[in-house]
Amino acid sequence: MSAFEAMTFAPAVDLLPVTRRYAALGDSYAPQVPTTPLPEPRLLHFNTALAQQIGLDAVAGQAAFTAIMAGNLPWPGYAPISSVYAGHQFGSFVPQLGDGRAHLIAELQGRDGARWELQLKGGGQTPWSRFADGRAVLRSSIREYLASEAMHALGIPTTRALSLVGSPQDVVRETIETAAVVCRAAPGFVRFGHFEYFYYQDRHDKLGPLADHVIGEHFPQFAGRADRYQAWLTEVIERTARLMAQWQAVGFCHGVMNTDNFSVLGLTLDYGPYGFMDAFDAHHICNHSDEGGRYAYDRQPQIGHWNCSRLLQATLPLLSEQPEQAVEIANGILEHYPPAYTRAMTGLWTAKLGLRETREEDPELINRFLSILHLGHSDFSRSFRHLSRVRSDTDEPAHGVRDEIADLAAFDAWTGDYRARLRAESSNDAERAARMNAVNPKYVLRNHLVQAAIEQAQGGSYGEIDTLFKLVNRPFEEQPEMERYAEEPPPSAKHIEVSCSS
């Protein structure tokens, strides 16, 4: 008998009761698939704050709970399931993808009253693994674990991360690495690709029950309405537009914006070769597997729009029985995207500049600032953070921010206009600085910081994971002892390559 088979529940483990609501949709959406145990699982990090919120803090220290987080024991009362989906990957339709290494292990109502689903990533093969091993390596698991919480702390909708478990089990990628499992937590994990799967398979009768599940669980305000699909899709399209604006505002590049990585709840989902930009380059490509730059920084809003058009295509049968009318309704829904994006983006940029009002001339002001950063490869986060030091009541050169800038003549001219704009709304410098420091993060999860934590973990030490976890949980606060984590990467670490390999 192996170590995991021998392990049974300590009576003290008192987990929250589970419900089977997504699972109740049945096998054609998500068949039951057991997880595959990992040898010697070790809890490398645990998100205590999230566990408290959900109501799992009391069980966290117990060995049986670690076993559950590793996929070595099932959650009492819930048989794990893995869902099938499809998706447009780099623009081409792939008819069948699915949770190739993900298992939903519990659906529960948290102590916070919210609905939570817990999903293990890396828990072994499923019917949707397509010849791959069903595992995730420690490297990419650390990246996902930290990014989820970094984005959450920035106020950006995202799936969360509850735990990170490591195992000495070998996993073969370009080199031999070791396995890890992240437990992700979210209200739900339904993707655009779930709808695409049934649409392109011509199993249109499967679309309604899935949409009704999503609406019933996550958009109850629309449930029961005759126009509920239209209302829900409009909401998804608007949420996606706002999400893209939020990514742009912090210099976040997702890296793999395939429709199977887009959430129908408007959450950031599937952290692979993502990156928070250091030096600003409007055309920055963070994923080294993305040769054509399809998912470059400045294309993200457009790709978000295209992905929404794919979701609407896949849900046409829900909108009307008459194809022409369905297309007309879908086009009407899609029209919500550009204004929702522009409204959100304008609001975020003006907030980043510390403006209280929005005026006609503001887009020009922000675009000029961005182009100064772009042309001089200035650090994106540092430049915005330091902008709060520009004073409107004096023409003294702004300390700090000038150090980030290459073209000082252009910047000084811009600063003159910025000061005039601030005076035009009678801006108070101290108040403005406080507002700006609450939206321009001091600390973002820069690639070279995560890389250091990964390399340390690969050597058997996990302290840096915790250091970064705490750091990015307070991105807007000055943390004087952490000053070096706000610096741009050293030249040797500027070009860390991240790819789809995970």
**Which residues are the active-site residues?**
260
Q: Does 261 bind ligand AMP (CB under 6 A)?
A: yes
Distances (CA, A) of 339 to 155, 306, 344, 380, 411: 21, 15, 8, 25, 30
Using DSSP, state whether 12 is helix, strand or coil.
coil
Do the strands 42-46 and 87-89 form a parallel or antiparallel pair, or are they unpaired? unpaired
Q: Which helix (H) or strand (E) holds 139?
A: helix 138-153
Q: Does 256 bind ligand AMP (CB under 6 A)?
A: yes
User: 228-250 and 337-352 are packed helices; what angle lies between their axes, rounded to 10 degrees?
Assistant: 30
Residue 148 or residue 383: which is nearer to Mg ion going by CB? 148
Q: Are 280 and 488 in contact (CB under 8 A)?
A: no
Q: Dihedral sign, CA of 144, 149, 155, 160?
A: positive
Query: How far apart are CB 272 and ligand AMP at their closest, in Å?
Result: 5
Q: How far apart are CA 210 and CA 29, in angstroms?
A: 8
Q: Does 287 bind ligand AMP (CB under 6 A)?
A: no
Query: How far apart are CB 57 and ligand AMP at their closest, in Å?
Result: 30
Using DSSP, state whether 489 is helix, strand or coil.
coil
Residue 31 or residue 100: which is nearer to ligand AMP going by CB? 100
Task: Residue 424: name its binding partner from ligand AMP, Mg ion, none (Cβ under 5 to 8 Å by kind).
Answer: none
Query: How far apart are CB 194 and Mg ion at their closest, in Å?
Result: 12
Stretch that binds Mg ion, among 31-39, 260-268, 322-330, 359-367 (CB under 5 A): 260-268
Task: Residue 135: name its binding partner from ligand AMP, Mg ion, none (Cβ under 5 to 8 Å by kind).
Answer: ligand AMP
Greatest Cα pair distance, the chain, in angstroms, is 76
Stretch that binds ligand AMP, among 12-20, 49-57, 92-100, 404-412 (CB under 6 A): 92-100
Using DSSP, state whether 170 is helix, strand or coil.
strand
Q: Are 33 and 128 in contact (CB under 8 A)?
A: no
Query: How far apart are CB 193 and ligand AMP at their closest, in Å?
Result: 8
Stretch that binds Mg ion, among 14-22, 105-113, 265-273, 407-415 (CB under 5 A): 265-273
Q: How far apart are CA 227 and CA 272, in angstroms?
A: 36
Residue 141 or residue 415: which is nearer to ligand AMP going by CB? 141
CA 423 distance to own-chain centroid: 37
Stretch that binds Mg ion, among 46-54, 57-65, 71-79, 268-276 (CB under 5 A): 268-276
Residue 134 or residue 301: which is nearer to ligand AMP going by CB? 134
Q: Are 293 and 285 in contact (CB under 8 A)?
A: yes
Q: How far apart are CA 107 and CA 188, in angstroms?
A: 9
Q: Does 268 bind Mg ion (CB under 5 A)?
A: no
> Which residues ranging from 115 to 154 are in contact with ligand AMP (CB under 6 A)?
129, 132-135
For every residue of 252-294, DSSP letters joined together read EE-S---GGGBBTT--B---SS-EE-SB--TT---BTT-TT-T
How many residues sit in the footprint of ligand AMP (CB under 6 A)? 16
Q: Which of 97, 181, 330, 439 binds ligand AMP (CB under 6 A)?
A: 97
Q: Does 238 bind Mg ion (CB under 5 A)?
A: no
Please count the other Cβ atoms lying within 10 Å of the Cβ belonging to residue 40: 11
Q: Does 261 bind Mg ion (CB under 5 A)?
A: yes
Query: How far apart are CB 260 and Mg ion at their closest, in Å?
Result: 5
Query: How far apart are CB 89 and ligand AMP at their closest, in Å?
Result: 7
Of 18, 3, 220, 214, give the one whose Cα is nearest residue 104.
18
Q: How far apart are CA 147 and CA 270, in angstroms?
A: 10
Sketch the per residue contact string, 40 through 79, with ligand AMP: x for CB under 6 A, - otherwise.
----------------------------------------
Sketch the per residue contact string, 98 through 117, with ligand AMP: x for CB under 6 A, - otherwise.
xxxx----------------
Query: How far apart are CB 139 and ligand AMP at their closest, in Å?
Result: 13
Query: How far apart are CB 100 and ligand AMP at their closest, in Å?
Result: 2
Query: How far apart are CB 324 and ligand AMP at their closest, in Å?
Result: 34
Burial 23-35 (b: 16+ CB within 10 A, else e): bebeeebbbebeb
Phi, psi angle pair for 294, to nearest 5°: -55, -35
Residue 271 or residue 485: which is nearer to Mg ion going by CB? 271
Q: How far apart are CA 9 and CA 291, in angstroms?
A: 49
Q: Does 235 bind Mg ion (CB under 5 A)?
A: no
Task: Residue 157: name its binding partner from ligand AMP, Mg ion, none (Cβ under 5 to 8 Å by kind).
Answer: none
Residue 270 or residue 464: which is nearer to Mg ion going by CB? 270
Q: Which of 99, 270, 290, 464 binds Mg ion (CB under 5 A)?
A: 270
Residue 274 or residue 369: which is nearer to ligand AMP going by CB? 274
Binding site for Mg ion (CB under 5 A): 261, 270
Binding site for ligand AMP (CB under 6 A): 97-101, 129, 132-135, 256, 261, 270, 272, 500, 502
